């Protein structure tokens, strides 16, 4: 069975008909492959469609008392909650005018009674496959739009700092040298941050398309992590956060890795830890070895932690949302980390820190 059939098998179909025999007949055809709900009138059909678990497809009889299928279709298509549910009309009417009316109201297909089981199954499966493709495309476009908005926001912050500091220097040429130096440093830091974000995007794009080749070198992992901590020290100090390096082995051990990519991974993990750690706290970077063949780097903070229900998705490419309690996050840095570490044949994971916070663990082969 292909993916579309597997997806359709889990789909829910609402069959609407005022004739019990028709409901039983159609339900009997569908029940082995789909979840089936039934309604014997239009009012009940609308209620089911507007429920917390709406159907994926509606098979709707036209000729019903009180509220015919056309009116039901019109009401469903007028409601934002139900307008995207595809509707196939079941009808004994084969006239062109009737088909045109239904299609103008928003139906996607017609099945003429008496119903042929093979034709019903083909039409249903086709429309469910189309709906699944449409839903996937819509979700992807939404995620990409959210990601673009968040990336623009991330890029705008350092860019705004650069412009503000530059304007202040230009409008106050007589400022004391110490103030000029301080604002110049802020411009430099913001510029470096901006370049770093852009580089991350470019490198990640190359990694995803397999257009980058790892420049493997024998690297002293402790020294690499010391340099990463040194570069993050001033940023952490603004929140009165200390970054501590720990290790449980001889510090002269070397690992074959791409120093630029691995360093950027550690930088991203430290940057995340600083962002979510409380003021006056500590972040611990631990270099360890799981065994003789695997090196391990762990970044632990005392922040709010990562919710259990998103731990499987926070490393995904377009994950946008609340990474850690109360803080909006693109996941851009973590997606980069995952791609870079997997390019080394390694893995990245997250666990709880004690008494609070998170531990991000990277493992690669020595």
The pLDDT score that the predictor gives to residue 258 is 92
Mean pLDDT of the chain: 84
218-230: pLDDT as tens digits = 999 999 999 999 9
Q: Where does the pLDDT of residue 179 fall: very low under 50, low under 70, confident under 90, or very high at 90 and above? A: confident
Q: Are 304 and 325 in contact (CB under 8 A)?
A: yes
Q: Say how far apart CA 68 and CA 42 lie, in whole Å.
A: 7
The Cα diameter of the chain in Å comes to 91
* pLDDT tens-digit map of 58-107: 999 998 988 999 999 999 999 999 999 999 999 876 655 677 788 888 88
Give the torsion through C-alpha atoms of 326, 328, 285, 334, to 10 deg.
140
- Residue with the bigger pLDDT between 351 and 152: it is 351
pLDDT higher than threshold 60 for residue 331 = no
Q: Name the more confident of 24 and 330.
A: 24
Rounded to an integer, the average pLDDT of 12-35 is 94
CA 313, CA 323: separation in Å to the nearest integer?
10
- Region at 271 (left for phi over 0; alpha for psi -120 to 50; beta for the rest): alpha
> 106: buried, middle or exposed (CB in 10 Å: 19+, 13-18, 0-12)?
middle
Sign of CA dihedral 229, 230, 231, 233: positive
Q: What is the pLDDT of residue 307?
A: 79
Are 260 and 213 in contact by the 8 Å Cβ rule? The answer is: no
Identify the structural domains of the chain with CATH numbers, from first to last.
Answer: 3-115 (3.40.50.2300), 141-208 (1.10.287.130), 217-365 (3.30.565.10)
Is a pLDDT exceeding 80 seen at residue 264? yes
Give pLDDT tens digits for 102-133. Answer: 888 888 888 888 899 999 999 999 999 998 88
What pLDDT does residue 143 have? 66
Alpha-helical segments (H) within the chain: 3-9, 20-30, 42-49, 69-78, 96-105, 117-171, 177-208, 221-237, 259-276, 332-343
pLDDT of residue 38: 95
Query: Helix, strand or coil for residue 351?
Result: strand
Res 332: pLDDT: 60
| Residue 3 predicted with pLDDT over 90 | no
Q: Tell me the percentage of the chain whose pLDDT exceeds 70.
A: 88
Cis amide linkage into residue 308, ω under 30° from 0: no
pLDDT (tens digit per residue) in 273-324: 998 899 999 999 999 887 778 899 999 999 888 877 777 778 876 544 444 4
Three-point CA angle 365, 346, 207, nearest 5°: 125
pLDDT band (50, 70, 90) for residue 250: low
- Residue 349: phi, psi to the nearest 5? -150, 175
Nearest C-alpha neighbor of 124 from the set 22, 1, 26: 26
Check: CB of residue 265 under 8 Å from CB of residue 298.
no
Low-confidence winner among 29-33, 247-251, 313-317, 339-343 (lowest mean pLDDT): 247-251
């Amino acid at each position: 069975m292909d993916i579309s059939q597997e997806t359709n098998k889990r789909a829910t179909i609402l069959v609407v008909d005022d004739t019990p025999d028709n409901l039983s007949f159609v339900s009997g055809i569908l029940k082995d492959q789909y979840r089936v709900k039934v309604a014997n009138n239009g009012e009940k059909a609308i209620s089911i469609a507007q429920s917390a678990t709406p159907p994926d497809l509606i098979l709707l009889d036209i000729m019903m008392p009180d509220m015919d299928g056309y009116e039901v279709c019109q009401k469903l298509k007028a409601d934002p909650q139900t307008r995207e549910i595809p509707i196939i009309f079941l009808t004994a009417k084969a006239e062109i005018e009737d088909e045109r009316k239904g299609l103008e109201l928003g139906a996607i297909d017609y099945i003429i009674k008496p119903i042929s089981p093979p034709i019903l199954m083909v039409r249903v499966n086709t429309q469910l496959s189309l709906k699944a493709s449409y839903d996937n495309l819509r979700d992807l476009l939404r995620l990409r739009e959210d990601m673009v908005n968040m990336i623009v926001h991330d890029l705008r912050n350092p860019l705004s700092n650069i412009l503000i500091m530059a304007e202040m220097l230009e409008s106050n040429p007589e400022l004391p040298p110490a103030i000029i130096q301080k604002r110049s440093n802020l411009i430099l830091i913001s510029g470096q941050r901006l370049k770093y974000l852009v580089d991350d995007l470019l490198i990640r794009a190359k990694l995803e398309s397999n257009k980058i080749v790892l420049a493997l070198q024998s690297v002293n992992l402790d020294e690499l992590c010391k340099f990463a901590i040194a570069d993050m020290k001033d940023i952490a100090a603004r929140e009165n956060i200390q970054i501590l390096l720990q290790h449980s082995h001889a510090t002269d051990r070397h690992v074959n890795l791409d120093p630029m990519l691995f360093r950027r991974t550690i930088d991203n993990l430290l940057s995340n830890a600083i962002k979510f750690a409380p003021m006056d706290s500590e972040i611990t970077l631990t270099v360890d070895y799981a065994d003789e063949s695997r090196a391990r780097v762990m970044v632990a903070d005392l922040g709010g932690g990562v919710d259990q229900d998103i731990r499987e998705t926070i490393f995904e490419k377009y994950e946008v949302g609340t990474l850690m309690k109360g803080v909006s996050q693109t996941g851009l840095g973590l997606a980069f980390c995952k791609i870079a570490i997997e390019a080394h044949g390694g893995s990245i994971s997250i666990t709880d820190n004690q008494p609070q916070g998170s531990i991000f663990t990277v493992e690669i082969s020595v």
